[in-house]
Amino acid sequence: MHRTRGAFARHGFYARRATLLGTLLALCAGLLLLTGPTAQAAPPTPPSAATARSYLNALTVRAEGSSSGYSRDRFPHWITQSGSCNTREVVLKRDGTDVVRNSSCAATGGRWYSPFDGATWYAASDVDIDHVVPLAEAWRSGASSWSTAKRQAFANELGIAQLIAVTDNVNQAKGDKDPAEWMPPRTAYHCTYARMWVWVKYDYGLSVDSAERNKLSSVLGGC
């Protein structure tokens, strides 16, 4: 009888251990789902404020150049990224939640949160893809001398925080203004926006004018 009770006790111990192990595995799987790459709904994370300040200090400061010769056609976009998906559709998918696409890769449903103003949208038509450093601003900051291939790469840049899905009329209000002239309406995003802006200008070797630099320095100093 002792051996029988011991066998039942051991069986109960192993059963409880298996149940606990299963629970832990389920929790780990849940955490992986929450923290994995598919949970991202934002552009690539910009460098820290300290790194952004060092990038800003490395940028050439000079008066803004002329807009002469500028045209959006000088920056070909949106180009095909894969299959039937162009850059706009890739960013809509990346920055949105529960995005549904049709056979042409166009977003037909989903949810988009605009960090510029804190608004949430449920139709892709309400969302613009903002060039953090506007194309015209880039032209005046050095891109006028680039090859068409480099301007195309800049206008469709997915590797750094140059493209972001935001409220359409907020993007239109921004236009081609630099941070000395315009910042996102939502002040909580100013630090992130400044880090994004500096990252793009540093990565592409673009210049800043003195007012732009002073504004960026002020924002980054408060991050």
Does residue 181 register a pLDDT over 50?
yes
For the chain, give the percent of residues with pLDDT over 90.
81
The larger pLDDT score, comparing residue 2 to residue 197, is at 197
Does residue 201 register a pLDDT over 70?
yes
Mean residue pLDDT of the chain comes to 87
Does residue 108 register a pLDDT over 50?
yes
Segment 166-183 mean pLDDT = 98
Which ranges of 74-209 does DSSP label H, i.e. alpha helix? 87-95, 135-140, 148-155, 168-174, 190-204
Six-digit token string for 101: 């696409």
Element at 167 (helix H, strand E): strand 163-167
Q: How sure is the predictor about 65, in pLDDT bands with cuts at 50, 70 and 90? A: very high
Q: How sure is the predictor about 200, in pLDDT bands with cuts at 50, 70 and 90? A: very high
> Does this model's pTM top 0.85?
no
Q: What is the pLDDT of residues 10-59, one digit of tens each?
A: 444 334 443 333 433 333 333 333 333 334 468 999 999 999 999 999 99
Strands (E) across 40-161 are located at: 80-82, 85-86, 96-101, 107-114, 119-121, 127-131
Residue type, 183: M
| CA angle centred on 216, ends 151 and 195, rounded to 5° | 65
Cα–Cα distances in Å, from 170 out to 110, 132, 166, 184, 195?
Answer: 20, 12, 7, 8, 19
169: nearest Cα among 119, 135, 212, 133:
119
Q: Where are the domains of the chain?
A: 1-39, 42-221
Per-residue confidence (pLDDT) for residue 42, from 0 to 100: 84
Q: Which are the contacts of 14, defined by CB distance < 8 A and separation ≥ 6?
A: none
